[in-house]
Chain A
């Protein structure tokens, strides 16, 4: 046998799949290998010559892969001169329209593994929410871990892993992502509120120092000031009132006033007999005063 055997290549045709394990543990779908080496279905795998030819072509294939750097990726699936497979065309279309994907239904896992890595966080969340009756975590768990790492850092990832190992509990990375996001939002909200409070406080403090216009008029203190105080005023008013009292008594007892009163009396007697209305005393006194002088 050729040296290819030492590369630990094993091939199962009857299972319907071909897996070729190279020495570097690289898994290659046999369909692409068969296309590359033009393996005829009629060849029986049991003959030695077949095995030799197989490994010969395997050598060539590996060589080609190394020299051409054939990447088994979705974009570069077109091998030169070969017709693109419908599956590959569909995968490419799906990737181009990944934002419109909702319920993925019964799509095969290996196809989802080619498409879903092209989703953003929101798109992946949408796909998982819309796909009912099917758990996509075998495919999406590693994607969520990458999102977690990108958003919260490698340190956090390691911390979470360590905690899960310590407590022997496993959560899906999607749950962890959502929980962490919630916590982060909460912390952010609290800090924003605290900041708002501080700003309000500062504003209030500044407002309190401002000059405010108020409608309340302070009581007039001019007279009080001049008089010198409440006690002094009392003293003076007492003296004034005594003098005033004396003046009043003198006036009332004066001859002038007595004459006036007599005239008024006679006038009122006349008016009651005639029936005219009495004039008010104030007016009367003013006019009569004029008259008397």
Chain B
């Protein structure tokens, strides 16, 4: 399964769901090197899933483009595969059949499918469950099947949309570690959307902080930690605090995110009486707020 990642180039990406609705996000620019793992953090509703669906080719953007190496993303492809918040397995198929479905779509020969499915199932450590009915698996096991179903395609880019948020803390921690190690071992790119800052620190090399309405990327913070990442590690804790601060700053600059007052972009534009926001927007980025 050895494969290298892709260079990601997202340029001028702007999206609105319909001509009448407001912009979901505006002029999003992202570049990533082959093999890099990105995390996108942001409040609910800021457009993270929309962005990921566009990168996966499941949604066409209003403006802008996504390029993976030199390929323009215009639709889904086995080269870039998305994994969703819920497993959405096909209940009429067993585990192995679910894992192999993408290869069947790609008309691969039967013995190749069998071999690659067995590899993928081993990768997520579900060997004993290969012939199980997916409805008999736990939530975490089902999400592992969904992961194997994505990995079996040998994608160059794995897109994860809050893949562990429905799981309990222990399963989540185990899967975060496993997915990172698998992705690193295969050398592929990963983009993970999350609103869990710990998850971003534990799993990625860069965190993009998205906020506002329409959404924008406010910060692009490298997470340069060496070695295995443990939650209690002081370096991890430091990183976490930095991200938290950047996140709060970004969301405070965008009041539309936390309440429904008119957006305040600069101090000059703010209305009288909106003192707290004006102070924040003019650069007082103190760590606490009433």
A and B interact physically:
no
